[in-house]
Chain A
């Protein structure tokens, strides 16, 4: 297999996962906005580090239109979902994933290609038409569903070879990073002082945090108790059995790295870093994390995920 193939599959995994996270995030934010104040835009944009870009879009829009909180929300949705100038938007991510897949038509199955190409055709087709009449909610819902189907197609049809490992690496690194970002930003927004227990709790806000990773019911099943910020942090970071937790994702990253090391018969810095990150989340305790502070801990994990991504690039000649 070529290094460029590994690279394309790795990024296909990352972009698809990013589109899926964004779709979920938008849904959670919209639900939240219906029940609360309407300041959610800030937090969501911060998750992607896109504050400046969004402000620019807002300023451009402000020159021609009247602004209100409703207006801001629909601007936000358009920016996150359908704006091609935003490289992390759903439409940009799906476009990038499709470009990666298109270059590897011969390394993926017809099922994976057809499902991804189908999603792109639907998305680009609808966005080409009149945007005024566009049912944004339905389209985002469709993206979410189809992204799950694409990953499903990959899981049931792809040969379990090195190419598959790289696809998985991309998807799980992105997912782990996304969950860490969501938790980091939301926690800071809702509880700026970082104290684990608060006297008054914004129930809707906290259930929205869980909704961002689709884990409201999961929380109930696991803890069988009222929402508690510390438990929410534990679920999102440390629970290995929650498929979107940071721990689960880094476990999968480590597993795929080990399969590659076995296939290639060599190990490098990326293997060490993947193992170290996995171990850090596996053996961490939530109360110990609160002692050093959630922000520094998550900041360290996010920085190391970024370093791991770079190191994987160097180790496997992806750059």
Chain B
């Protein structure tokens, strides 16, 4: 990597410990490696016993692994968070305005800011959502914005996730575990709480019901326990005190959605779905889906049930629409973007493509619709042969790829087999949009446990950390 890596603990002036990390540094100094190892072991036991597991896609049934949790928290000062908070609110506002516009009049296309084909030719565009008027014009009710840091003041947005972003249960569980393991740290530092997330989530979901005459009945729709995020679905439903339903628990009658209960059918107003668009309704989308509910889209279009996140949000968060987000912010909000985008080369632009192919060994190349760290090339850490193979893929379908410079992601102290060592991290805060916008301080910090690795995805051997935002003047 060309640039010097920013370490969030040690990159203070003249290599000093940065302010937010003072407490953690002291704790690390005063705790023996053996004690840390024992604590680490305790955590694994805790997670396994509680059944907090993550089934990687493609793994055989019953093969449940836990996502490694790193016991050293990642810390942010209040002013650092305040800055991110402002930038996140701005970005998600713009994304929501874009989605309402994309499925409405498409003013942004007529103004010549974004070509219409970027929306209409997008594989994630859902024609059935065209013209839908949703409560509060909100489409991305829950957004997970992936951020990386490369310097004291330099944050970049790596990716927007506005379909069904997951990971928030780890934010909440990690905090629970951390408070159990190191209560002394919490009494020494004032850490902003995160436990109110589920309450805010429920309030957000309730606030986007179509009807306003009665207490809206909210349910969480899961594909079922074979889904890798099933634990999170159950956890969130439990914390909110709402029903966790599968497609087979719901049915549509005369345009209304009901759930089956032993006392008879009960009306449903808002569905927080963790099922992908294509599987939501076998009548409207994929006919072979067993995960959805026949007639659901009809009920949505009739304004009888709201579906969260909205249908067709994929047009706003793929890696090629990403390049337009700064223009969206200027167009809809008339503001300058607070958070920066990573410079992105698009395979569908001849000049960009030429640059991409000539500089593959320096770039990170990703599929436009890829996720989970699969189908990507990290140039600097790849062999000549891997690069050559990937360049064939790009040449075959240039519009399917984008490329970005390899960022020197910041590092945080992490407990690994050799002891405490710096490892690369990213951050996914969760932004809730309903009647108002709410962000619980912090988010999910993912850490690449392999030395030097920049891939933090849990399906690729990443772990998580508790993320602390220190209270003002702490």
Q: Are A4 and B263 in contact (CB under 8 A)?
A: no
Q: Closest residue to A7 on the B side, CB-wise? A: B262
Q: DSSP class of A's interface residues: helix, strand, loop or mixed?
A: helix
Binary B-proximity of A95-126 (CB < 8 A = 1, otherwise 0) = 00001001101100010011001100100000
CA of A317 to CA of B245, assembled, Å:
15
Binary B-proximity of A1-43 (CB < 8 A = 1, otherwise 0) = 1111110000000000000000000000000000000000000
CA of A41 to CA of B427, assembled, Å:
61
Q: How far is the CB of B463 from chain A (nearest CB, A)?
A: 22
Q: Are A316 and B51 in contact (CB under 8 A)?
A: no
Q: When the two chains form the complex, which single residue of A2, A105, A113, A264 contacts B249, counting CB atoms closer than 8 Å? A: A2
Q: How far is the CB of B253 from chain A (nearest CB, A)?
A: 14
Q: How far is the CB of A287 from chain B (nearest CB, A)?
A: 41
CA of A118 to CA of B49, assembled, Å:
7
Q: Enumerate chain A residues within 8 angstroms of B231, measured Cβ to Cβ.
A: 105
Q: Are B51 and A105 in contact (CB under 8 A)?
A: yes
CA of A106 to CA of B237, assembled, Å:
7
CA of A2 to CA of B49, assembled, Å:
26
Q: Enumerate chain B residues within 8 angstroms of A114, measured Cβ to Cβ.
A: 49-50
Q: When the two chains form the complex, which single residue of A103, A110, A121, A316 contacts B262, counting CB atoms closer than 8 Å? A: A316
Q: Are B234 and A105 in contact (CB under 8 A)?
A: yes
Q: Enumerate chain B residues within 8 angstroms of A1, measured Cβ to Cβ.
A: 243, 261-262
Interface size classification for chain B? 20 to 34
Q: Are B225 and A103 in contact (CB under 8 A)?
A: yes
Q: Are A2 and B260 in contact (CB under 8 A)?
A: yes
CA of A113 to CA of B235, assembled, Å:
13
Q: When the two chains form the complex, which single residue of A117, A162, A263 contacts B51, counting CB atoms closer than 8 Å? A: A117
Chain A, range 141-185, C-beta contacts under 8 Å to B = 162, 166
CA of A298 to CA of B263, assembled, Å:
33
Instruction: Say whether A46 faces chain B, with CB atoms less than 8 Å apart.
Output: no
Q: Enumerate chain B residues within 8 angstroms of A260, measured Cβ to Cβ.
A: 262
Q: Are A117 and B261 in contact (CB under 8 A)?
A: no
Q: Are B262 and A162 in contact (CB under 8 A)?
A: yes
Chain B, range 201-233, C-beta contacts under 8 Å to A = 224-225, 231
Q: How far is the CB of A71 from chain B (nearest CB, A)?
A: 31
CA of A102 to CA of B225, assembled, Å:
8
Residue pairs across A and B with CB atoms within 8 Å: the count is: 57
Instruction: Say whether B248 faces chain A, with CB atoms less than 8 Å apart.
Output: yes
Q: Are A317 and B51 in contact (CB under 8 A)?
A: no
Q: Are B262 and A317 in contact (CB under 8 A)?
A: yes
Interface size (A, Cβ < 8 Å)? Answer: 26
Q: Enumerate chain B residues within 8 angstroms of A4, measured Cβ to Cβ.
A: 245-246, 248-249, 260
Q: Enumerate chain B residues within 8 angstroms of A162, measured Cβ to Cβ.
A: 262
Q: How far is the CB of A186 from chain B (nearest CB, A)?
A: 36
Q: How far is the CB of A194 from chain B (nearest CB, A)?
A: 41
Q: Closest residue to A4 on the B side, CB-wise? A: B249
Q: Enumerate chain A residues within 8 angstroms of B237, measured Cβ to Cβ.
A: 106
Q: Are B260 and A110 in contact (CB under 8 A)?
A: no
Q: When the two chains form the complex, which single residue of A103, A121, A263, A317 contacts B260, counting CB atoms closer than 8 Å? A: A317
Q: How far is the CB of B266 from chain A (nearest CB, A)?
A: 9
Instruction: Say whether B409 faces chain A, with CB atoms less than 8 Å apart.
Output: no
CA of A105 to CA of B222, assembled, Å:
13
CA of A99 to CA of B225, assembled, Å:
9
Chain B, range 48-63, C-beta contacts under 8 Å to A = 48-51
Instruction: Say whether B238 faces chain A, with CB atoms less than 8 Å apart.
Output: yes
Q: Are B261 and A113 in contact (CB under 8 A)?
A: no
CA of A177 to CA of B225, assembled, Å:
31
Q: How far is the CB of A214 from chain B (nearest CB, A)?
A: 29
Answer whether A110 and B261 are a contact pair too, CB < 8 Å, given A3-B249, A105-B234. Answer: no
Q: Are B51 and A113 in contact (CB under 8 A)?
A: yes
Q: Enumerate chain A residues within 8 angstroms of B259, measured Cβ to Cβ.
A: 2
Q: Enumerate chain A residues within 8 angstroms of B224, measured Cβ to Cβ.
A: 103
Q: Closest residue to B259 on the A side, CB-wise? A: A2
Chain A, range 231-247, C-beta contacts under 8 Å to B = none
Q: Are B261 and A2 in contact (CB under 8 A)?
A: yes
Q: Are A6 and B262 in contact (CB under 8 A)?
A: yes
Interface centre among A5, A113, A166, A266 (most CB of B within 10 A): A5
Instruction: Say whether B244 faces chain A, with CB atoms less than 8 Å apart.
Output: yes
Q: Enumerate chain B residues within 8 angstroms of A2, measured Cβ to Cβ.
A: 243, 245, 249, 259-261
Q: How far is the CB of A106 from chain B (nearest CB, A)?
A: 3
Q: Are A102 and B51 in contact (CB under 8 A)?
A: yes
Q: Enumerate chain A residues within 8 angstroms of B235, measured Cβ to Cβ.
A: 105-106
17 additional contacts (CB under 8 A) given A99-B225, A103-B225, A106-B238: A2-B245, A2-B259, A3-B249, A4-B249, A5-B243, A105-B231, A105-B235, A106-B234, A106-B235, A117-B51, A118-B49, A162-B262, A263-B263, A317-B260, A317-B261, A317-B262, A317-B264
| Closest A-B pairs by Cβ, 4 of them | A106-B238, A316-B262, A3-B260, A105-B234
Q: Which residues of B contact A (CB under 8 A)?
A: 48-51, 224-225, 231, 234-235, 237-238, 243-246, 248-249, 259-264
5 A-B residue pairings within 8 Å (CB atoms) = A1-B243, A2-B260, A105-B231, A105-B238, A166-B262
